[in-house]
Every structure is written in structure tokens, then in C-alpha cells.
Amino acid sequence: MVGARITAIGTYVPEKRLTNYELEQMVETSNEWIIERTGIHERRISRPDEFTSDLCEAAVKDLMHRYDKNVEDVDMIIVATSTPDFPFPSVSSIVQNRLNIAQTGAIDLSAACAGFVYALHTAHSLIASGLHKKILVIGADTLSKITDYTDRSTCILFGDGAGAVLVERDEQAKSFIGFHMGSDGSGAQNVYRTGLSKKVNGIELVDTQYLVQNGREVFRWVVRNIPKSVHQILEKTQTSLEQVDWFIPHSANLRLIEPICEKLGYPIEKTLYSLINFGNSSAATIPLALDLGIRDGKVKNGDRVLLYGFGSGLVHAGQLLDIDLDEQVNEPRPL
């Protein structure tokens, strides 16, 4: 198989902060209660005229600035999102036009909070097959636009953000070590937003424009299944937990990450998440957490990192990576 390497990363979050103290004025909650239950202190909220495509464009421009990268020769753009600007055209086609990439494929991928890892796997497959050479992978969501700010069980969780990486053909080095993915559609009714159909698995759904989540059932499913799936990646790649330098699960909720680490026997101190200041930004949480680790000097070239995303569907996907980014030319802009 042809080698593929992640060569650059960029991220973006909107300027507007929504703090726990501000949420106290909107719903019956408190800063202390939110932190105790979720670990989240604040989240970023996109402007009314700012959409997922805008966040994607900004994340790619951050990547280009930091690594002095040219994207004009990108031959595929994959955007993982559950909150596209439109049902169609795709976010990826809008990004293609704004970045003036003349000849490229452009697709959106829908795998909810596991979307970024699914998109990485797809990019690796396209390059490993020999069909593509340079792919932009973006995970981005504007969940604030589909959040009900009268529902205290969900509005405390979600925020907006984007993360982008460049995956390039490389005959000498390989980033992608192993993966595992799956789905359990029997739980599809536990996280949804209604569309053309108002029923799933024979169950009538709440017909609303907002995201609906049964947090308790999702929690149970994740804690029961994700640790086992992580071990499948380790077994397939003959990797021990001690060889994993950093674990980056989807930043849904710190109280969900903690039992995953406990069941794995993996230290929370070596687990990276982006939820404290950015909340649950769906497909953006994992690239944001990875980039925060890089910005903080924790994640370095030569490190082995295990990503694991999970979300509505119930879909999940993990990827074991060796970090080998190009050298940064410019300092990242502050988040």
C-alpha cells in the first residue's frame, strides 16, 4: 500500500464565548453544576451569519499559515459535519470554491461526532489505493444553530468549531497504524434531529428543529462499547496501552471520558480533550484536542496517538496514528 502521512493541522473557533455564568441567566442551572456534570466551562458560538463552511475555511487558512502549505493541488476535500450550511450543495464544494482549488473531488461525510475519524480513514484509503495524493480532511460543526437553549440538558453541552488536517502521499513515512469502526443502528433514536422522516426503529420522534439526545442511554452505550473497541485496535496492531503516548476520545463530556479511561486502565493525565473551553463541538472535538496538545507542547513528532470518535447512529471509529507533521513555519493564531 502507498504510504500516507498527516503533514499539517489547523483549527478555528468562533470569537463569541458562552460561559456557564451566562447560561445561568438562560436556564435553571449553575456554573458549579455544569462543571461537576460535564467539565465544561465555556463554549464558542458562531455568529448568525457564520456557518460551517466559514469555520472550515478559517481552519484550513490556519493550517496554510502555520505550515506554509499550498492547497491548490489538493485532489480531494472531505468535510465531516452534521450541520452543513445547506442540505445541498455540500460544504466541501463551498470550501473548494473559496480556496480556489481548481480540480478536486469534494464530498461531505455524515458520521456525527465520529465524523473526523471516519473522514481520516477515508482519506487514508484513497491515498493508500494510489488514486489520490493530497487530501484535505476537515471536521466542523455549528451545533449552536440546532441547540434548544430552553433545554438545560443539552444547551450546556454544545459549541462550534473546526479542525483541518492535510493528508499527503509519502513513500518514506506513514501516519496510519490501525483502525476499528462500527455502528449500532438499534440505538439511533437516542441522538437525532428529525428530517424527512419522523420515525426511526418504529419509534415516533419528537418533531423539532433542534438536536434531541437521551444522554443516559448514550452514556451507557459508550462506556459499555468503546473500551472494547479500543482494545480491538491495540490487538490488531500488536500495540500495548503503554505504547500509546496520548489518547484522544471525542470530547462529549468529561464525566463520560473518565469511565472510559478507567475501564481501559489508561491515565486521564495522558488523555487530551477540548471540551473545557469549547464544549462538545461534534466532528471538531478530536482535531481541536489534537491541536491543543500540539500548541501546548505535549504532542510531538514521534508520539503515538489513539483517536476514538463516537456519536449518533450509533457510529464509532478509532484510528491509531504516528505523529510526523511538517515543521511549523509560523506560530498558530490564538484560539
Query: Which residues are the active-site residues?
Result: 113, 250, 280
- Residue 282 gets the label, from left (phi > 0), alpha (psi -120 to 50) or beta, of left
Contacts for 69 with CB less than 8 Å, ≥ 6 apart: 7, 8, 63, 166, 326
| Cα–Cα distance for residue pair 95/27, rounded to 1 Å | 36
Q: Nearest CA to 247 among 260, 232, 228?
A: 260
From residue 161, alpha-carbon distances to 82, 201, 238, 335 in Å are 12, 31, 34, 10
- Residue 160 gets the label, from left (phi > 0), alpha (psi -120 to 50) or beta, of beta
243 CB neighbour count, 10 Å cutoff: 12
| Cα–Cα distance for residue pair 168/278, rounded to 1 Å | 29
Query: Beta strand pairing status for 105-109 and 76-80?
Result: parallel
- Alpha-helical runs (H) found in the chain: 20-24, 31-38, 52-67, 91-98, 115-128, 152-155, 215-237, 254-264, 275-278, 285-295
DSSP classification of residue 58: H
φ, ψ at 284 (rounded to 5°)? -90, -15
Contact 4, 127 (CB under 8 A): yes
